[in-house]
Structure formats: C-alpha cells, structure tokens
Structure 1
Amino acid sequence: MKQKIVIKVTGKGAKSHSKALQIAVGLSGVESAGLGGEDKSQIEVVGDGVDAVQLTNLLRKKVGYAELASVEAVGEKKEEPAVQPFAWSVYGGSMPQTYIYPIHPYQDPSCSIM
C-alpha cells in the first residue's frame, strides 16, 4: 500500500535538511521525498512499504529532532460494491407478503447463517 509520510525535522540549516533527504531516499520502498511546509521544515516521503517509525528514528539519530507528523494512504480509492436487497414472496393465507433482506456483496445468498 502506497503511503505519504510527513516528518517534521528541526535542523541547523539547509545542510541538515539535505542530509535528512538523503537518509529518507536511502530506505527501501521510497519512491519520492521532498521538503514541505511553510518554512521547509517538513520532509514528505511517498513510498510503498516504508516503515515510518524506523525512518523517524534514523532521522533522530543522524540529524537531530524529528517528529512524525502524519501518515496517509495514497492511491486508488476502492469502492465497495453496493448492498443489493434480496426479496421473495411468501404465500400463506389470504394475501401474499414480500420480505426484503439486504445481502452484503461478499455474502453467499444461499447461506442463511451469515
């Protein structure tokens, strides 16, 4: 799953931000990294299977103060299929009655337990 990780880094200047970007790009699974925020104090990393905690700890050890700001899923939004009602008529007595039950898309309509 592709995710976007934002880490706030407080360094002593452009050199520390450059070093933080080099560390971020060096991890496996990172597709892109860049500076963000108003004062360019945040590192935005986009990748697949990147461990946000490991990246934050590496930045703390090698650059200085680092705080994990957010982790968001990026990519396609999977739409869940709509629930379709299942109806049948029951004849008994003078008037027929119709029962309508919603069936979840992943539920087998022949199974009455689920």
Structure 2
Amino acid sequence: MKQKIVIEVPLNCTKCKKKVLTVCTTAEGVTAVKFIRDGKDRVEIIGEGVDAAQVTQDLRNKLKFAKLVNVSKLD
C-alpha cells in the first residue's frame, strides 16, 4: 500500500534540510521526499510500508521538533 506522509519540521537553514533528507531517505520503503514551504515548513514523504511514527521520532531526535500532520493512502 502506497502512502503519503506529511510532517511539520523546521527548515530554517541548509543544515536542517540535510538532516531531514538524511533521515527521510534512509527510512525503509521511502521512494520520494519533497519539501513544502507554504506558511509552515513541511516535508512530504511518499513510499510503501513506511513507518510514519518511527520517521517522526527519528526527526525529533535530530531536529528537536517534528509533528506528524497527515498520513494518507495513495491509489
């Protein structure tokens, strides 16, 4: 089952973006990562069988803040 995960993270600098990309791309099942910067800084993860809670927890460990916003199923 393919899913889309949206997580709110701080994207203040390039170092933060690199940390987010490192965590997201090393998670099992991730096929695409996209940054969304419309009012709030968010990262959109698309993949199959991705553990959203674990990715959010890993981002919290690296960045001190991450909030799981949405998990939805893609057709």
Q: Does TM, normalized by the shorter one, top 0.5?
A: yes
Task: Give the structure with the larger helix fraction.
Answer: 2
Shift of 1:27: 0.7
1:41 partner SS: strand
Structure 1 residues 49-77: Cα deviation after superposition (integer angstroms, max 9, x where no partner): 000000000000012200000001012xx
Residue-pair matches, total: 75
More relative contact order, 1 or 2 (CA 8 Å, 6+ apart): 2
1:29/1:48 contact within 8 Å kept? yes
- Per-residue deviation, residues 60-109 of structure 1 (Å, max 9, x unmatched): 0012200000001012xxxxxxxxxxxxxxxxxxxxxxxxxxxxxxxxxx
Which residue does the alignment assign to 2:19? 19
Contact preservation (8 Å) 2:8, 2:40: no
Distance apart, 1:11 and its partner CA: 4.7
Q: Following TM superposition, by how much is the alpha carbon of 1:19 offset from its aligned partner in structure 2, in angstroms?
A: 1.1
Verify: 1:28 aligned to 2:8, yes or no.
Answer: no
CA distance in 2, matches of 1:14, 1:38: 17
User: Deviation at 1:12?
Assistant: 4.0
Q: Against the structure 1 CA distance between its residues 39 and 15, is the aligned structure 2 distance closer, same or farther, given a 3 Å change threshold? A: farther
RMSD: 1.5
1:44-83 mapped onto 2 (5 Å cutoff): 44-75=44-75
The answer as to whether partners of 1:9 and 1:66 remain within 8 angstroms in 2 is yes
Q: Greater CA radius of gyration, 1 or 2?
A: 1
Long gaps (5+) in structure 1:
76-114
Instruction: Give the equivalent residue in structure 1 for 2:43.
Output: 43
Unpaired segments of 5 or more residues in structure 2? none
8 Å CA contact 1:5, 1:71 repeated in 2: yes
Q: 1:3 aligns to what?
A: 3
